[in-house]
Chains A and B, each alone.
Chain A
Amino acid sequence: QVTLKESGPALVKPTQTLTLTCTFSGFSLTTTGLRVNWIRQPPGKALEWLARIDWDDDKFYSTSLKTRLTISKDTSKNQVVLTMTNMDPVDTATYYCARTTGQLSEFDYWGQGTLVTVSS
């Protein structure tokens, strides 16, 4: 059974760095073709893709946010970590992690999401 769960602070101050962890089970990120993505959704707004890390440690970032994002994995802990620097109130959103398979558009399993509010 595949599950993913996001964790991190519910509240961060402007200019701080956000660190989110996606802890998953039911698969290994050493398996060829598997990938983990981060996606966010501001309240009442659309989804936005942020970053992806692949089984072979390839990393991809949103063009508009790439200077602020870093994605990494710890395969021994079954975790993927996303850091986002210089947080701003517009970054207030629910942050999701989701798995994709060898089929690049198959976002087959999602976490429940974690709401991060940016406010002083």
Chain B
Amino acid sequence: QSALTQPASVSGSPGQSVTVSCTGTSSDVGAYNYVSWFQQHPGKAPKLMIYDVSNRPSGVSNRFSGSKSGNTASLTISGLQAEDEADYYCSSYTSSSTYVFGTGTKVTVL
């Protein structure tokens, strides 16, 4: 199972919106609505930001939103803030009843 493809980095100024893409195949992202997104600050455990493509866990800011089209999922961060600077990973359930993570994207707040 190959890792999902994410851009290595995206950046934006405070207040702007950025979108991180996550491209898989018809056996993972395209097959199920079981895509999640995680935020990871240096030296910390990942934190769930989005699950089931577009659902936000309690306590996660509504500046974070998720969507999916075909084999590509996307995470959008609106109203970018300094605290949003982190690594972001997507994950998808697969047709093999396993999970695959993305390659990771570093979001930089300029």
* Size of A's binding interface in residues, CB under 8 A: 25
Given A105-B51, A107-B38, CB of A46 within 8 Å of CB of B46: no
In the complex, B64 has a CB within 8 A of chain A: no
Q: In the complex the two chains form, what is the Cα distance from A37 to B106 in whole Å? A: 24
Asked if A47 and B46 sit within 8 Å, CB to CB, the answer is yes
* Size of B's binding interface in residues, CB under 8 A: 28
Type the 1/0 row for A107-118, where 1 means its CB is closer than 8 Å to any CB of B: 110111100000
Asked if B52 and A105 sit within 8 Å, CB to CB, the answer is yes
Q: Separation in Å of the B4 CB from the closest CB of chain A?
A: 9
Chain A residues contacting B36 (CB-CB under 8 Å) are 105-107
In the complex, A60 has a CB within 8 A of chain B: yes
Q: Separation in Å of the A3 CB from the closest CB of chain B?
A: 12
In the complex, A48 has a CB within 8 A of chain B: yes
